[in-house]
Amino acid sequence: MPGPRFHEQVMGVYFDDLDAFYILHNARYLLLFERTLGSFWQSIGVGAFEPQRAGDHQHLVRANTIEYLKPVRGTGSVRVRVWVERLGRTSLTFGFRLMPLDEDTDHAVGTRTIVRVDPTTQRPAPWTEAFRQRLAPWTSEPGGGAST
């Protein structure tokens, strides 16, 4: 069975992204993931955020996890891959990998979980059916998952 469909983007690593040891600063991994996730949203047609019509785009980050496996040394380019790991009733978990350009080995892996919220109450709200349909090609769990 093939793995989940993913979105991948090549990202630059610049001098100001590096720490004192000439290694990609730990906080920059999350920034590269964030930018790739923005590219993913645009690729599926939900990239333009309009507060008055936020709908399913009204969400909050519940958790980020990152495991640093192999340092990115110096400037250059890396690949960042994102995919949908789980689409729940009100939550959505993305997986991500940060890799060199020329091999499928991981510099870092992680997840981000977001929760859709009602714009008025800021309480968790279910994803709409239209949103579920839009994400269907990107998830390996047809129909979603558990209750969160």
Domain presence at residue 14: yes
Per-residue pLDDT, 117:
94
Of residues 145 and 117, the one with the higher pLDDT is 117
Question: Does residue 148 lie in a domain region?
Answer: no
Counting residues of the chain whose pLDDT is more than 90, the rounded percentage is 70
Sheet holding 108-116, edge to edge: 7-13, 76-87, 91-100, 108-116, 59-68
CB contact at 8 A, 81 and 7? yes
The pLDDT, as a whole number, for residue 56 is 77
Residues 6+ apart with CB under 8 A from 129: none
At 126 the pLDDT is 96
Q: What's the DSSP call for residue 75? A: S
Structurally, how many domains does the chain consist of? 1
Is residue 1 in a domain?
Answer: no
17 within a domain of the structure (yes/no): yes
pLDDT mean over 111-115: 97
Domain that holds residue 71: 7-138
With respect to residue 90, please indicate whether it lies within any of the assigned structural domains. Answer: yes
Indicate the pLDDT class of residue 47, thresholds 50, 70 and 90. Answer: low
**Concatenated DSSP letters for 68-119?**
E-S--BSSEEEEEEEEEEEE-SSEEEEEEEEEESSS---SEEEEEEEEEB-T
pLDDT, position 48: 60
Residue-level pLDDT at 51:
53
Looking up residue 74, the CATH number of its domain turns out to be 3.10.129.10
